[in-house]
A and B are shown apart, each in its own frame.
Chain A
Amino acid sequence: MKLVDAMVVAALTTAACPAGAADIPPAERRSGYSFMAPDSQAMQNDDTTNPGMLWVLDGEKLWNSKAGAAGKSCADCHQDARASMKGVAARYPAFDTTLARPVNLEQRINLCRVRQQQATPLAHEGRDLLALTALIARQSRGMPIETGADPQLAPFVGKGRDLYMQRQGQLNLACTNCHDDNWDKRLAGAAVTQGHPNGYPLYRLEWQSLGSLQRRLRACLTGIRAQPYEYGAPELVELELYLMSRARGMAIEAPAVRP
Chain B
Amino acid sequence: MSVPILAGALLALPGFAAAQELRNYAVTGDAIPVSLTGAPGDPARGRSLVLDRTSTCILCHSGPFPEQRFQGDLAPSLTGSGSRWSEGQLRLRLVDASSLNPATIMPSYYRIEGLARVGAAWRGKPILSAEQIEDMVAYLATLRE
A positions within 8 Å CB-CB of B: 18-20, 166-173, 177-178, 181-182, 185-189, 192, 221-222, 225-228
Contact = CB atoms under 8 A, between A and B. Distances in A.
Contacts of A170: 107, 115, 118-119, 122, 125, 127
Given A169-B117, A187-B60, A226-B118, 6 more contacts: A168-B117, A182-B105, A225-B118, A226-B116, A227-B119, A227-B120
Contacts of A186: 72-74
A95 to B, nearest CB: 27
B58 interface: yes
Which 7 residue pairs spanning A and B have beta carbons closest together?
Answer: A189-B70, A170-B122, A188-B70, A168-B117, A168-B116, A171-B107, A227-B119
Interface size class of B (residues with CB under 8 A): 20 to 34
27 contacts: A168-B115, A169-B117, A169-B119, A170-B107, A170-B125, A171-B107, A172-B98, A172-B108, A172-B115, A172-B116, A173-B107, A178-B74, A181-B105, A182-B74, A182-B105, A185-B72, A185-B73, A186-B72, A188-B58, A188-B59, A188-B71, A188-B72, A189-B70, A192-B74, A225-B121, A227-B117, A227-B118
A170 B109 CA distance: 9
Nearest to A223: B59
Given A169-B118, A222-B119, A225-B119, A187 B103 contact: no
Q: Which residue of A18, A19, A187 has the most chain B CB atoms within 10 A of its CB atom?
A: A187
Contacts of B59: 187-188
Contacts of B60: 187
Contacts of B115: 168-170, 172
A166 B114 CA distance: 13
B24 interface: no
A186 B71 CA distance: 8
Interface string B82-123: 000000000000000010000101011000000111111110
Nearest to B112: A170
A187 B74 contact: yes
B135 to A, nearest CB: 20
B53 interface: yes
Contacts of B70: 188-189
A103 B125 CA distance: 36
A199 to B, nearest CB: 23
Contacts of B120: 227
B77 interface: no
B37 interface: no
A236 to B, nearest CB: 13
Contact of B69 (A177, A189, A227): A189
B56 interface: yes
A165 to B, nearest CB: 12
A166 B119 contact: no
A190 to B, nearest CB: 8
Nearest to B98: A172
A42 to B, nearest CB: 23
A185 B58 CA distance: 13
A19 B104 CA distance: 10
Given A185-B72, A187-B74, A189-B69, A172 B119 contact: no
A192 B75 CA distance: 13
Contacts of B122: 169-170, 225
A158 to B, nearest CB: 18
Contact of B74 (A19, A185, A226): A185
A136 B60 CA distance: 38
A228 B72 CA distance: 24
A138 B105 CA distance: 37
